[in-house]
Amino acid sequence: MDSIVVKGGTPLNGKIQIAGAKNAALALMPATLLSEEPLTLTNAPRLSDIKTMTQLLQSLGVEVTSMQNGKVQVLSSHDMTSTTADYEIVRKMRASNLVLGPLLARHHQAVVSLPGGCAIGARPMDLHVSGLEAMGAQIELKDGYLHAVAKGGLKGARVPLRFASVGATENILMAATLAKGTTVIENAAREPEIVDLARCLRSMGAQIDGEGTSTITIDGVDRLGAATHPVVTDRIELGTYMLAPVFAGGEVECLGGRLDLIEAFVEKLDAAGVDVSETPDGLLVKRRSDRARAVDVTTEVFPGFPTDLQAQMMAMLCTADGTSVLEEKIFENRFMHAPELIRMGANIEVHGGTATVHGVDRLKGARVMATDLRASASLILAGLAAEGETVVSRVYHLDRGYEHIEEKLSAVGAQIERVSE
């Protein structure tokens, strides 16, 4: 199994190209199931989660052609062979559940295993299920699988969400494009990935209004057609690389970065003493002094501070001047990186959904491992500033969400390499 070895203390200078968003692509790919005609995605990220979604779609009979070294994906659901999403694939990745809405919408039936994914809390699917039931689906849980049917097709409905779930909004949005009549999703998620999905569906012929706000209205149409769609920039990859020069010093330009994707995060960086400026090609980041200042952070749904950047921010605050309080409001059990950062010399106390970080002068390299994707990224970042060598194992978590992290960081001067053990 591969590990990543980082030697701290080298300032970073240069440009890092930010990829297309993993979380957008994982919703855009299943959108192919809504149409007989091909869907072409450009600016697709090259990640193991994308391979998992490809495998899942292929198991349903979708033809997936990868071009330009994986950056362009052409998907065709013309000759579907199955409407069952098998546990063996779904267990690898929670986002597999995004085939449920499209399958029900076009084929009026679906059997989808309950998902696995990152070990960051219970992550149920009740909102997906109740939304689709409101649209006329009958859904039963049998042997770990959701068995869903919509005799005569889905019908438009009012779907109020108890929580603005990203995945539930995506599933219901996709399902509603082919439902009879009008669907109104209330308390919809507003994440940029939802906006990206709505734009793609509209290019396919869907009638959607209000994406990016809390109320999305969808007028169902009879069929969707072909489209070509560029995947939006990955705001989480962007935020992760924006932190790299804060840990290591120097100046890094994140190409493709956009402030509107990441405003709440940039506000916290500013308060911590980090300069972020817009350039014609992206965002330029450098710290104002050697040591960041402590800041308090609460994770929220978009446009609030993203939970997917909480671990990386915590790593940064480990050596900030003062005490920071981080509150995790989206997922329970999302501080698994704290014990690993403590092994590197951090001073962190965790009580339920709150972590208090007392800044120390310096972290020290250690052997660490993480049990989820963003936690792994936080340990790599911590290694950039730590004294000595940090070895991050279980790199397969990182490969789910960061393409060639060691290549991107070493290109700007980091001492980082992947080793096979």
Binding positions for ligand UD1, rule: CB under 6 A:
23, 26, 94-95, 121-128, 163, 165-168, 193, 307-308, 330-331
Query: Does an H or E element contain 75, and which?
Result: strand 72-76
Residues in contact with 232: Cβ distance below 8 Å, sequence separation at least 6, in sequence order: 20, 21, 24, 192, 193, 195, 196, 261
Residue with tokens 């591969």: 2
As measured in angstroms, the least distance from the Cβ of 304 to ligand UD1 is 10
Question: What gap in Å lies between CA 102 and CA 106, rounded to an integer?
Answer: 6
Residue 391 CB partners (closer than 8 Å, separation 6+): 3, 4, 5, 6, 365, 366, 367, 368
| Shortest reach from residue 120's CB to ligand UD1, in Å | 8
Calpha distance 106→60 (Å, rounded): 13
Q: Residue 308 or residue 340: which is nearer to ligand UD1 going by CB?
A: 308
CB of 384 to ligand UD1, least distance (A): 23
Calpha distance 321→83 (Å, rounded): 54
Catalytic residue status for 200: no
Considering only the C-alpha atoms of the chain, give the largest distance between any 2 of them, rounded to a whole number of Å.
65
Residue 369: other Cβ atoms inside 10 A:
16
Residue closer to ligand UD1 by CB (options 10, 96) is 96
Q: What are phi and psi of 165, to 5 degrees?
A: -70, 135
CB of 64 to ligand UD1, least distance (A): 18
Nearest to 66 by CA among 45, 36, 85: 45
Q: Rounded CA gap, 346 and 319, in Å? A: 8
186 neighbors 218 (Cβ within 8 angstroms):
no
Closest approach, Cβ 89 to ligand UD1, in A, equals: 15
Task: Tell me how far, at minimum, the Cβ of 52 lies from ligand UD1, in Å.
Answer: 11
Please name the residues in contact with 407: beta carbons below 8 A apart, sequence gap of 6 or more.
none
Smallest distance, Å, CB 162 to ligand UD1?
7
SS3 90: helix
Instruction: Using alpha carbons, list the distances in angstroms from residue 217 to 8, 86, 208, 301, 391.
Output: 50, 32, 6, 20, 48
Q: Which helix (H) or strand (E) holds 6?
A: strand 2-7
Of 118, 200, 254, 318, the catalytic one is 118
Place of tokens 């995947």: 231
**Catalytic machinery residues:** 118
